[in-house]
Copies of this chain bind each other. A is one copy, B any other.
């Protein structure tokens, strides 16, 4: 495995656990066993490194969503698998969603990273809107108003559930809240 990829793996974990401000080249150097200068050789600046982490994760997640579309034609099952992706991102309850974490650092974030965060949020709302609209058309979901509004509320709910779950180190809390959000938003009046 290439050094650049190992650096991205380590940086991804550091951002998810500590955030943009609280991780450093020294952390990566220690975890990988090479000097700080060597890390800079692969990613010259922290802005470029974090942008690369964000862009890679976004692509990986988009691939996973496409896989869900292939494997789970049923909207309800597709949505349940989507919840599982979020729960997996929590790891043992000590990782925040990469983009939720970066969002909390919005004010100090390099512009290119912020663009990836907003792009990821837009990706998720668009995908969820499609699933929810298909579910209503199939008679599986019931809700008022446009699908986009329900999708936005569901996505925000999942981000908040991850934020609180990680503060508590409580994965079952996330699972319970996520299920209730889906239940309330897709079987309402």
A interface residue numbers (CB < 8 A to B): 17-19, 21-22, 94, 96, 100-101, 103-108, 114, 117-118, 121, 143-145, 149-150, 152-153, 155-164, 166-168, 173, 176-177, 180-181, 183-185, 187-189
Q: Can you list 12 A-B pairs, Cβ within 8 angstroms, ordered by A? A: A17-B107, A18-B107, A21-B22, A22-B107, A96-B104, A103-B163, A114-B167, A121-B167, A121-B168, A149-B180, A152-B177, A184-B184
Question: By DSSP majority rule, is chain A's interface helix, strand, loop, or mixed?
Answer: helix
Q: How far is the CB of A145 from chain B (nearest CB, A)?
A: 8
With known contacts A150-B180, A184-B184, A188-B188, A164–B103 Cβ distance under 8 A: yes
5 interchain residue pairs of minimum CB distance: A160-B160, A21-B21, A104-B104, A159-B160, A157-B157
Chain B residue contacts of A156, Cβ below 8 A: 157, 160-161, 163-164, 177, 181
- Which single residue of chain B is at the shortest CB-CB distance from A185? B184
Complex Cα distance A158/B143, Å?
19
